[in-house]
Amino acid sequence: MRLALFDLDNTLLAGDSDYEWGQFLVDRGVLDRATYEAQNRAYFEQYVAGTLDIHEYLGFALRPLAEHAPEDLARWHGEFMRDRIAPMISAAARALVRRHLERGDLCAIVTATNSFVTRPIAREFGVSHLIATEPEAHGGRFTGRVAGTPCFREGKVRRLEEWLSGQQRALPEFAESSFYSDSHNDLPLLELVTRPVAVDPDEQLRAEARRRRWEVISLRG
């Protein structure tokens, strides 16, 4: 069997779902523009630069989940999927995932963005396995804290290994393991698979892919 792993933001999506969720809530008037928007942009720029403190960021990003009722969050997310996410999904991205699924590969989306935001997106791609940062919940409401290891950088490797163990599998057992990503932040996992693929890569990953002769593709358009 083959394993196919997909990063989500700026890989399968032509944009960042975590950043856009925050902006969607600002535009909808749920979050205060003056206090949230600039900080959201600053954290996104830190991610791009590779300097993001993931725990500090998650304290910021998960707070809106804790401050609002689940039924409101679900309603807003439906609008978010229609207005922000659907335009980010290209035919090429859908076709890539579909090829792996139709081939019978074990497929999973592996993303640093929390599972509340990303699970409906994974369903939209037809991928049943999602490895994401998990927001803690008690009594049916989010707490604003993280449950377990954030799925970021080396944390993606750890979370993947935990998930594979739950499937009674290990990475070396697969005849081929692919990981598609746009970001240099994903180098720890890209280095582990047998087929790393840089997708519309950032400058740092493009240089690394060139040096290591990794495959480079585009899913835009």
For the record, the structure tokens of 34 come out as: 């003056």
If you write DSSP's letter for every residue of the chain in order, what string do you get? -EEEEE-IIIIIBSS-HHHHHHHHHHHTTSS-HHHHHHHHHHHHHHHHHT---HHHHHHHHSHHHHHS-HHHHHHHHHHHIIIIIGGGB-HHHHHHHHHHHHTT-EEEEEEEEEHHHHHHHHHHTT---EEEEEEEEETTEEEEEEESS-SSTHHHHHHHHHHHHHTT--GGGSSEEEEEES-GGGHHHHTTSSEEEEES--HHHHHHHHHHT-EEE----
Active site (annotated) includes residue 32: no
Name the residue among 172, 179, 194 with its Cα closest to residue 5: 179
From the candidates 9, 18, 105, 186, give the one annotated as an active-site residue: 9
**From 7, 16, 186, 202, active-site residue:** 7
186 part of the active site: no
The answer to whether 156 and 144 have CB atoms below 8 angstroms apart is no
Report, as residue numbers or ranges, the catalytic residues.
7, 9
